[in-house]
Amino acid sequence: MYEVLGWLRHLDHLVAGLGDGCAYLGLVDVCSLDHDLTGRGCCDDEVDALHGTDLLLDGRLAVAAGHAGDVEDAGIEGGIGAHDEILSGYSLAFSAPTRSNLYPLWVSGNPMNPFAERHLVDVATFAEINQGKSMRAAVLEQAGAPLIIRDDIDIEAPRAGEVAVQVTHCGVCHSDLSIIEGKFPAAFPVILGHEAAGIVTAVGAEVLTHEVGDHVVLTPCPPCGTCHWCVRGQWSLCVNSDSMVTCAFPDGSTRLSRNGEVIYRGVGVAAFAETVVIQATGAVKIPKDIPLDIACVVGCAVQTGVGAVINTSIVGEGDTVLVMGAGGIGLSIVQGARLAGASQIIVSDPVAKRREVALDLGATHVLDPTSDDVVAATIETSEGVIGVDFAFDAVGSSSLICAGIDATRKGGTTVMVGVPPLDDPLTYPLPAILAVGEKKLIGSLLGSCNSLRDIPKIVSLSRSGRLDLNALITERRPLEDINIALEDLSASRGIRTVIEF
């Protein structure tokens, strides 16, 4: 006996029914069903016979008149109609029967059904709910300008493989500030914000992993799982991560507009807004008892910092570490190094309060770069006075990258976690040292994370008390105060500000 849900996974299209609002399923890609239906490969005759066969779903399975015999003749014993009992006990409901918008709203009634009590909202329903409504968002119309709160932003319904998420909280990251200041390029007008958490409000076609009401953390690098980089385990380099630069989906669209004008998705998420539409793999489910105002910082700062230690550089027990910059990412690097068992964690930051927090989170030594010679002090502090094993630039500065190279031992590694502005070229005066000392300089995008794996891991570590996410958050503000939050970030006041919707 085959399972009807096995069929539903393989159907390529759901086609409209006729009369009384009945919804029909059309078997379009029959070859993908061959083993489910017959236990063997379909021949051409069987494919021809099954094409056009309509299955009426009204709580039971039936075959449209005139088709059952054709299916029997094709070699499927008893025809599909003979197995109509497999749907007994299922309750399936569908949206308005149109060819493009006919997606399941819910499937329930069978305790063995892995998708029991799934709650989905389809494209038509999403559009109906949002008809005549626009959302509120903070829009950057040009570099160097303040963000403007608009309440007339239009957002499309999620397409196949996508979900819509009501944003509840979004952290303010330095990458957003760099775009505002013109240090990073972007398309305008743009909605920034990429460190967010929220609640799923709609699910597009072909998404079997999410349902309405799920709590999720958003990630700017949703792994597709099939591209050149994903299949090599380089998930943060997935083709979907290009949207961090293009500010658009891979097909060039953004799903956002205002009065007909395209609005771009800053850093691939656009979460300084009430709603985000994103690939399903970009909305990572978390337990509902995890506060979303705290979980949001996992989306960028914590993934990036902890991941740079655990995934990119693979710090080991007993290793020594220098962290330059103690903002949200730098303090996450500190916590990642502590988790990895580093014996020395040296932190450099000009803000005294941040140095204090670094010590609370696991730093063994702190330096003030305005008065200390960071390289000399690091080498002197390091075990054996040879330099550290790993140096992390958590700011994005060519001078700090050079300092990291100088502060690491022979064979050591400097990790570029922050991204330097385009007008800050890297010039190292003695490149021969890299060769003869076998020193390494590597980049790290979002901590080389597979967000589907690492976000749940980080949340679990937080729940167990091994990661302190709350320590990173020093201010919470409404969306109306977004420009004040950005001013605080520019002045290095506090660590992370979270915008609340």
Q: Is 193 left (phi over 0), alpha (psi -120 to 50) or beta?
A: left
Query: Cβ contacts of residue 420 below 8 Å, gap of 6+?
Result: 396, 397, 398, 401, 426
Six-digit token pair at 246?
């293009």
Tell me which CATH code domain 126-299+469-500 carries. 3.90.180.10
Task: Give Cα 95 distance to the centre of its chain.
Answer: 28
Residue found under tokens 């069903």: 33
Q: Look at the chain and count its residues.
A: 501
Six-digit token pair at 19?
């009369």
* Structural contact between residues 247 and 266, judged by C-beta atoms closer than 8 angstroms: yes
Question: Where does the chain hold its CATH 3.40.50.720 domain(s)?
Answer: 302-445
Question: Where does the chain hold its CATH 3.90.180.10 domain(s)?
Answer: 126-299+469-500
Gap between the Cα atoms of 112 and 7, Å rounded: 16
Query: Cβ contacts of residue 92 below 8 Å, gap of 6+?
Result: 57, 59, 104, 106, 107
Nearest to 57 by CA among 113, 106, 117: 106
Would you tell me which CATH number, out of the four given (3.50.50.60, 3.20.20.70, 3.30.365.10, 3.40.50.720), belongs to the domain 302-445? 3.40.50.720
pTM attached to this predicted model: 0.77
Mean pLDDT by 10 residues, the chain (501 residues): 33 32 31 33 38 34 32 35 32 29 31 41 57 85 97 97 98 97 95 98 97 98 97 97 96 96 98 98 98 98 98 98 98 98 98 98 98 98 94 98 98 97 93 95 98 98 97 98 98 97 97
Q: Are strands 440-443 and 148-155 parallel, antiparallel or unpaired?
A: unpaired
- Going through 349-407 in order, the beta strands assigned E by DSSP cover 365-367, 388-393
User: How many CB atoms neighbour CB 187 within 10 A?
Assistant: 15
User: How many CB atoms neighbour CB 490 within 10 A?
Assistant: 12
